[in-house]
Structure 1
Amino acid sequence: MAQLAAFKIPEIRNEPMRSYGPGSTDRQKLEEALARLDAQAPFDVPAVINGKEVRSGDIQPQPMPHNHAKNLSNYHAATPEAVTAAIDSALAAKNDWENLPWADKAAIFLKAADLIAFKYRYDIMAATMLGQGKNAWQAEIDSAAELVDFLRFSVKFVEQLYTQQPSENSEGVWNRTEFRPLEGFVLAVTPFNFTAIGGNLVGAPAIVGNVVVWKPSPAATYSSYLVYKIFLEAGLPPNVIQFVPGSPPDIVKQCIDHKEFAGLHFTGSTHIFRKLWKDIANNIDIYRGYPRIVGETGGKNFHFYHPSADIKSGVVQALRAGFEYSGQKCSALARAYVPRSLWEGGFKDELVKQAKSITIGPCTEFEHFTGPVIGRPAYDRITGIIEKAKAQGGEILAGGKGDDSKGFFIQPTVILTKDPKSITMTEEIFGPVITVFVYEDKDIDATLKLIDTTTEYGLTGSIFGQDRQALAHASAALRNAAGNFYINDKCTGAVVGQQPFGGARASGTNDKSGSISILYRFISARSIKENFIAPSEYAYPSNLV
């Protein structure tokens, strides 16, 4: 199609976050959305293939974590035939989507962002709260602000990407670069804990011209479905992204066994990601090319407190990092290293007192700082690990108990350990559990080494202190221990466009979502040289005698 201008997108800034204070219009509208969705549940969620709803009859539940007797949605698990149709439909759409002018693609995602920010803000927040157990603030920073940021900043970053052209041209030559989408389709496997991650895992490949098969988390089915419908309302052609809920291992295997599989965009467990990498490697001979594998997985994230750290701030940052959303963030604090001077000088008392003051409850009761864990398997795993920690000699300073009678609630738990390699210092928990190891003030270097080598992960971490030389020393010692590193701030809360997110080691491929870097993984550049001066003979001057 003709491109008749070089377009410039609107100025992109981070979406302002709303506070939902008592008596505010935002609080009122969110409460209305919560009541409406709760009354209408369970919602019937089909697979959507080529824009058409497909109901297999194999109906699977998405229970509400705070009230597990009630389902937010019942979704139709995609059959193998439906997955095949989804792949075929995506591939059939590839040429038209790739060739749609960039301005039209940009308009779709900018409109989707505005639809989420305004028309559907409260609905998508309510779906995230009821279905994934978030309170109002956690839903706001995720399904509203971050999702909007992902979409808008992706447009901004693609505009920047397309302007990156060769700086040199020989006489009579014009050099240029095209950033092609991958050949084939991308499989996006998305997690339960962030609605925004689901939108970004499909949005980032699609915005640079790829077609995508979306396998949403069973525990986030309804919010993912809403995001998908918003994309369609924004003008996304219906066959560019295929929505296929259902059995994760079966759907994923069928996709990665396909010759046209071109890339995996994944957020989930380290164990599953490693298995998928091996499965893809074993299939390498069947593919058209080498599939791109992009993944963000687990973490065993840390806070290191120097003896010069401020106690009050340090405690507040630990509580927020460890217990917001019941510790179900990839970046959540799991292990804290506190010097004895601080621990005995007030850190312990303040941490325990404040941890015990935290209330937990359903998302419909706004006063609670945190809520349930996502479901039965998570509840059983987390409470089981707490019991193992106690059996290994860990001292429960706060929390340690759960109640699954109505919802899957686990008290914010603080464990004191004398063994820096105990189970809760090494094994990912993904729940509201912070384990503290008290080190001797003289053992700073040994403690830094311990932090760096105790686990296989490298996602997030923080250091606290007022001694600048000590902070610089700790930062250097922990250079490879975290892909997102914070100084005097908690280890959670990365913002799109400000702190690109991702870790290395067992935590993933560190491709940095929320930055231009992630987009490079879903394009295949073509260098083009055009010659304007025709040569008159084949011989070069050096051939003459």
Structure 2
Amino acid sequence: MNATTTTTPVRRGNEAELVAKEELPPLQHFIDGAFTTRTDAAGTDIVNPSSGTVICCVLEGTAADVDLAVAAARQAQTDWGATTPAERSDLLLNIASRIEENADILARLESLNTGKPLATSRDDVSGSVDTFRFMAGAGRALTSLAAGDYATDHTSVILREPAGVVGVITPWNYPLLMAAWKIAPILAAGNALVLKPSEQTPLTTLKLAEIIADLLPAGVLNIVTGLGPVVGERLASNPDIDLVALTGSVGSGKAVAATAGNTVKRVHLELGGKAPVVVFPDANLSAVAESLRTAAFYNSGQECGAACRVLVHESVADQLTQLIVEQVSTFIIGDPTAGDDVEIGPLVSEAHYHRVAGYLERAQKEGITAAIGGAPLEGPGFFIAPTVLTNVPAGAEASQNEIFGPVVTIETFSDEDEAIKRSNETPYGLAASVWTRDSARSIDLPRKLHFGTVWVNSHLVLANEVPWGGFKGSGYGRDLSIYALEDFSRTKHVMINHAR
């Protein structure tokens, strides 16, 4: 797959200076308010994706470890759930402040473990702080149906109660931020939880537990590291878990939902996406290309809402392609220590690197061309060149499946009906965007796109005040906003007969 324009080579720094050994968190489970010590347990190597070298080895959990953590959470939840919203709010605000005080080490750990540019990791830390602060306030302002007599001589009162004990499985692409997205509303609603971070990227989650341990009642937050088929499966099957929440792949979501069904527990799934970017001839094409520079390639494209599938009207396709390639050609690629101006890091693991490279190889065999990029980059680490694929036919694998890397596909359409049909033809339903100057179209078209978030003339702009979640294969349940608090609580109706 020969590209017409090449990207800059990988810039290298001194990774040994990123995190000192003594700054690593305890590499153990966090259960009932303390880190556990087990010398007989297996371990998982944590790999630096910028170099392929081993950082450390983290304890590999068992089903028995999960059961211990669940028992601690169950014991702690009764008292925690009985606290007032104001008391829980105070604790969340204290957590936010503690994260902010430790922002530097958290960002450096995140970059070491994931390969992210430091600027990206710093954004994740600040986003985590804002998540806890938002949920601290939102947990004090829930609303519901007013108490009243909806049946003669009977007063109805609606109570919102904690769901109970929540099992959480977080992904490797935003380890700290996705932990915050779950921990903050779960605690704000009065629940206790047991969290399994990705076995590839557990370091900032463990560091978070270390820096906030003294703030939390023992057992309210528990972390068990380990593999999905063991730890994740037990979180989904344990009968003392009331709700299991996962952010991850569609395959993982299906497995969790199927297992959870055996105990009829609630499930909250935020899964993959394949976001269409629908560009009409009247759109500001320069603005589209500039937006995609971030929205498609942020975090090396390892983003479920990434603007990875461009559907552009055939009359402006060549012009937009040229503008996107110009934007992509200016990326600075490197490891986290290679300078604050580095924008693109490696993929998270060797396995994922080969997965993305496989998509590019198969696209080449299908006759799809790369206007830029199109292949792995030379040297150590798991770097893939930022890629723009053109001449992508309808239904092609690259345009239908979530590649989850720095890859954008460009397809064309001839009229609005075709654009709508093609946008909705993927099994995903997480996010999309529409680009047009037509005010009527900007209001009407998003209603016809089956995605949980639809941006108009922007993409990948998030705020804690508004919900995030998908339809179809992208799962169900909502993160962020008051809707997350509703997802992690339960509604009870109390009716009082006051006839005299």
TM-score (norm 1): 0.83
Cα gap change, 1:465/1:102 in structure 2, threshold over 3 Å: closer, same or farther? closer
- For the pair 1:360 / 2:333, whether they are aligned, the reply is yes
Distance in 1, matches of 2:211 and 2:102, equals 8
Q: Report 1:52-451 matches (<5 A).
A: 52-57=34-39, 58-71=42-55, 73-117=56-100, 119-144=101-126, 146-161=127-142, 163-164=143-144, 166-169=146-149, 175-183=156-164, 185-194=165-174, 195-233=176-214, 235-281=215-261, 283-284=262-263, 290-344=264-318, 346-365=319-338, 366-403=340-377, 405-440=379-414, 443-451=415-423
Distance in 2, matches of 1:317 and 1:351, equals 9
**Quick one: which amino acid aligns to residue 129 of structure 1?**
S
Contact 2:244 2:260 in 1 (8 A): no
Contact 2:275 2:305 in 1 (8 A): yes
Deviation string, structure 1 residues 458-486 (Cα, Å, up to 9, x no partner): 111111121223334432332x2x21111
* CA root-mean-square deviation: 2.4
Aligned length: 483
Cα gap change, 1:371/1:351 in structure 2, threshold over 3 Å: closer, same or farther? same
Higher relative contact order (CA 8 A, sep 6+): 2
Q: How many Å apart are 1:399 and its aligned residue?
A: 0.4
Q: How many Å apart are 1:264 and its aligned residue?
A: 0.7
Cα gap change, 1:32/1:208 in structure 2, threshold over 3 Å: closer, same or farther? farther
Q: How many Å apart are 1:226 and its aligned residue?
A: 1.7
- For the pair 1:506 / 2:473, whether they are aligned, the reply is yes
Deviation string, structure 1 residues 418-467 (Cα, Å, up to 9, x no partner): 41211110011110000001334xx23212211112x1111111111212
Instruction: Say which of 9, 19, 42 aligns to 1:37.
Output: 19
SS of the residue aligned with 1:100? coil
Distance in 2, matches of 1:199 and 1:238, equals 18
Distance in 2, matches of 1:230 and 1:35, equals 22
- Identify which range, 369-378 or 78-87, moves more after superposition: 78-87
SS of the residue aligned with 1:385? helix
SS of the residue aligned with 2:310? strand
Contact 1:414 1:436 in 2 (8 A): yes
Distance in 2, matches of 1:266 and 1:377, equals 21
Distance in 2, matches of 1:165 and 1:473, equals 31
Alignment match, 1:463: 434
SS of the residue aligned with 1:212? strand
Distance in 2, matches of 1:206 and 1:357, equals 43
SS of the residue aligned with 2:53? strand
Contact 2:18 2:108 in 1 (8 A): no
Cα gap change, 1:99/1:418 in structure 2, threshold over 3 Å: closer, same or farther? closer
Cα gap change, 1:310/1:34 in structure 2, threshold over 3 Å: closer, same or farther? farther
Contact 2:148 2:157 in 1 (8 A): no
Alignment match, 1:483: 452
Instruction: Say which of 449, 457, 461 aligns to 1:493.
Output: 461
Indicate the percent of aligned positions where both proteins have the same amino acid: 24
**Quick one: which amino acid aligns to residue 462 of structure 1?**
S
SS of the residue aligned with 2:433? strand
Distance in 2, matches of 1:449 and 1:321, equals 23
Contact 1:292 1:522 in 2 (8 A): no
The higher radius of gyration belongs to: 1
TM-score (norm 2): 0.91
Contact 1:303 1:318 in 2 (8 A): no
- Identify which range, 166-175 or 413-422, moves more after superposition: 166-175
Q: How many Å apart are 1:130 and its aligned residue?
A: 1.4
Cα gap change, 1:414/1:167 in structure 2, threshold over 3 Å: closer, same or farther? same
Contact 1:189 1:201 in 2 (8 A): no
Q: How many Å apart are 1:121 and its aligned residue?
A: 1.4
Q: How many Å apart are 1:493 and its aligned residue?
A: 3.0
Distance in 2, matches of 1:173 and 1:393, equals 70
SS of the residue aligned with 2:232? helix
Distance in 1, matches of 2:354 and 2:28, equals 30
Distance in 2, matches of 1:280 and 1:401, equals 40
Contact 2:24 2:207 in 1 (8 A): no
Deviation string, structure 1 residues 512-533 (Cα, Å, up to 9, x no partner): 21111111222222333456x6
Q: How many Å apart are 1:160 and its aligned residue?
A: 1.4
For structure 1, list consecutive stretches of 5 or more residues without a partner in the other structure.
1-30, 285-289, 536-545
SS of the residue aligned with 2:315? helix
Deviation string, structure 1 residues 158-197 (Cα, Å, up to 9, x no partner): 2111x546242599976533322224x2110011112211
The runs of 4+ residues in structure 1 deviating greater than 6 Å are 31-34, 170-174
Distance in 2, matches of 1:47 and 1:62, equals 15
Alignment match, 1:542: none
Contact 1:199 1:227 in 2 (8 A): no
SS of the residue aligned with 2:441? helix
For structure 2, list consecutive stretches of 5 or more residues without a partner in the other structure.
1-12
Q: How many Å apart are 1:42 and its aligned residue?
A: 5.9
SS of the residue aligned with 1:65? coil
- Identify which range, 521-530 or 187-196, moves more after superposition: 521-530
Deviation string, structure 1 residues 77-130 (Cα, Å, up to 9, x no partner): 12333222112111121222222333222111111011222x111111111111
Contact 1:34 1:130 in 2 (8 A): no
Distance in 2, matches of 1:502 and 1:78, equals 29
Distance in 2, matches of 1:158 and 1:32, equals 44
**Quick one: which amino acid aligns to residue 130 of structure 1?**
L
Q: How many Å apart are 1:34 and its aligned residue?
A: 9.1
Alignment match, 1:23: none
Deviation string, structure 1 residues 228-286 (Cα, Å, up to 9, x no partner): 233323x21121111100122111222333221210111000111112211222x13xx
- Identify which range, 467-476 or 353-362, moves more after superposition: 467-476
